[in-house]
Structure 1
């Protein structure tokens, strides 16, 4: 018999989590910390850190948490918010295609904020508690998101359902009872940001994927429920419409559908980026060989467009421009995350010469995966076409552990130093580790 959501949250123990699920959580933890480190260099992170410092400070004798990689102590709600915006400012974090979004960018900073508050109070929290909380946050968040996308017409951002996952994780850490847990996820769902994703795709700004308000909505919901605040039943977790999405809770794990990004841009662009990378390598091409290009892909991806982005936010939600970056530079990493890339003449040329084709077949099948193919039209008259592609990093085409490690170091080493990055990775690889030490490593100033 399937568990209720409240009972699942209240009773899950580290020993109950299958080893393959724990392996996903360890990969996600390392991956997300790397994204958080480089995220501290963005304008978004700087603005939100100052906002949280001035508007969400920790009061005297009140809850307090350290903000990721800053050395600042603020309220747990503020730490969750600023942390989520920081991670979301670099679109390189984990996700799940069928749920159309990302868990780690909201769940991780929410969990760390609550854990740091508890440890400052002298409460005992260990590394196993961290992994249980993360697992609960991802699993409940994913299922809430699947229900949301399956029962409402609007395409909501990840913040809408990571709010529920964050509340679930925080409720576990705060040791709420079943009734309090039910209220916590109800409050989080009601107050969570039901922001429309395609508005940010059509008009890219610092709003991003909604997790900047999803994470603090979840954290505040758990603290409020602890004090006796009540919430309406969460419609993405209770009732007949929700039942199919929760029937096998505790028996089958949605966490195993987590994917990882090879590039720090919207995943909808990744199959085309992978395709042009391979065409360039396999045919020993340089960008000057290309006269023009065509990308056939699913509808949402063509909405990314972005032939001539003027800001890094526009670049993040673009297709043609990151495609052109790969064609010209052969990589999309920290070097290409500098604003100077927006003035790269050769990238501009390739981008403006790239046609986007909205393909009905790819749209129909881009549910669990994201599909595209690429044709390069060369100056010598040749036409080179790729096979239909889905992104690397999906569960059936995963990044290796070494690739996850290499990505972490690529993003983190220059920001926090190689020695510190190595220590973070070594701790996470241990079965049980000193959580206090990890907290110091990920909250001390870069």
Structure 2
């Protein structure tokens, strides 16, 4: 028997969640807070956190504090600024089949609403909310990609999941959850992803408006505002994506994690050049050219000479060159000094992105690339086609996730605070009300 999405959301309890789903949520909590910490140092985040108190002051819904900042605002303002903060560094969790990201909208939105309107929530209750938001977001995203001609940002479909989960957090009925999803879908941003890839700016992946749209929808639905149906949840064209709701978990199968702070479409090439440079004991001085065969959308990333972090995020050539020259792509490679590094720029200009029809055909549930290094002595070193690490079939280990978190968070938060967040986030669902409140407080203190 097929379960309706609103009934699933209203009835989901902690005891219904598979251990693998909880394991994923714990990893995502930790991973997202690490990205939020380094994201709070960016110009993009600073602007969003200045604007939120200007236009989203706390009201009768309750007060939320900005992630990594502490300023009191409304839950809508905290969701907006928090989502922009996480999205400002392209290192957060994602879902390949939806070509986007959910956690960057879900965590800021649900943390904001929990602070403002559910002060008694504990870790188990928050796990129920997160699982609802992820599962509905992923399925709405799959339907949207299957039924809409344009490639919309993650903000479009996360608005649906955030709205439904937000209505659940507010104690809403199945009918209120249904209307919240419809409101979130109708008013969520239908922003064009390829516009930001062709012309990278601070608008990013749309979650900075998808998250507050979903939060607003939840509060509207609680007060009786109607908006159903959400076609991504109830339209006939999307039935196939909802048939196993409650028995199959997209949250488990489709969540991936990033090893590098840039668009995932660059990651198979980054893994490839890292391994080839090490295996053949090569120096960047030996590199004449780099040929990358990949799928069509990825060739539009390019990014041979990024001028800022936004352009770096939507690039392949420059991150690949940084890996060749420095042997890593991390926080240091996001700096203005790295963006002006003459040797990285030399190699970056020598990267050729080749639009390969076969790579495009097979890049559905995976993202494929094949790299050839052309050396100055005329030799060519060719790697096999690859998909990125971090997917379910090539997972990053818990140790790798924790190492990445500390690399991002420790320089910003200090080792003590970063360690406290890590300890609590990795078993957040076992925390009582006071312990969970402390975790949220640690995440929302100023950097």
TM-score class, shorter: over 0.9
> Alignment partner of 1:296: what SS?
strand
2:433 aligned with 1:432:
no
State the shift of 1:232 in Å.
3.4
Structure 1: distance between partners of 2:426 and 2:311: 36
Residue 120 (structure 2) aligns with:
124
Contact 2:312 2:334 in 1 (8 A): no
How many residues end up aligned between the 2 structures?
Answer: 442
Residue 6 (structure 2) aligns with:
6
- The Cα offsets for residues 207-232 of structure 1, whole Å up to 9 and x where unpaired, read as 10000000000000000111111113
Structure 1: distance between partners of 2:171 and 2:69: 28
Residue 138 (structure 1) aligns with:
134
> Alignment partner of 1:304: what SS?
coil
> Alignment partner of 1:384: what SS?
strand
Contact 2:180 2:228 in 1 (8 A): no
Matching residue within 329, 349, 353 for 1:352: 349
Contact 1:2 1:251 in 2 (8 A): no
Residue 56 (structure 1) aligns with:
56
State the shift of 1:62 in Å.
4.5
2:324 aligned with 1:324:
no
Residue 416 (structure 1) aligns with:
413
2:366 aligned with 1:369:
yes
Contact 2:273 2:323 in 1 (8 A): yes
Structure 1: distance between partners of 2:24 and 2:201: 31
Structure 2: distance between partners of 1:206 and 1:183: 31
Structure 1 stretch displaced more, 231-240 or 389-398? 231-240
Structure 1: distance between partners of 2:401 and 2:228: 40
What runs of 5+ residues in structure 2 fail to find an aligned partner? none
Contact 1:65 1:73 in 2 (8 A): yes
What runs of 5+ residues in structure 1 fail to find an aligned partner? none
Structure 2: distance between partners of 1:298 and 1:239: 30
Matching residue within 176, 190, 198 for 1:180: 176
Structure 2: distance between partners of 1:85 and 1:444: 17
Structure 2: distance between partners of 1:341 and 1:130: 40
RMSD: 1.0
Structure 1: distance between partners of 2:378 and 2:6: 63
Residue 114 (structure 1) aligns with:
113
State the shift of 1:63 in Å.
2.1
Question: Where has structure 1 moved over 6 Å in runs of 4 or more?
Answer: none
Contact 1:310 1:342 in 2 (8 A): yes
- The Cα offsets for residues 11-48 of structure 1, whole Å up to 9 and x where unpaired, read as 00001000011111111110001000100000100001
State the shift of 1:379 in Å.
1.4
Contact 1:142 1:255 in 2 (8 A): yes
Alignment of structure 1 residues 187-198 onto 2, 5 Å: 187-198=183-194
- The Cα offsets for residues 232-255 of structure 1, whole Å up to 9 and x where unpaired, read as 310000031121111110010000
Matching residue within 249, 273, 278 for 1:276: 273
Structure 1 stretch displaced more, 305-314 or 394-403? 305-314
Structure 1: distance between partners of 2:219 and 2:270: 43
Length-normalised TM-score, structure 1: 0.98
Residue 67 (structure 1) aligns with:
66
State the shift of 1:337 in Å.
1.5
Contact 2:274 2:324 in 1 (8 A): yes
Alignment of structure 1 residues 14-413 onto 2, 5 Å: 14-59=14-59, 61-119=60-118, 123-256=119-252, 257-413=254-410
Contact 1:110 1:215 in 2 (8 A): yes
> Alignment partner of 1:242: what SS?
helix
Structure 2: distance between partners of 1:429 and 1:399: 15
Length-normalised TM-score, structure 2: 0.97
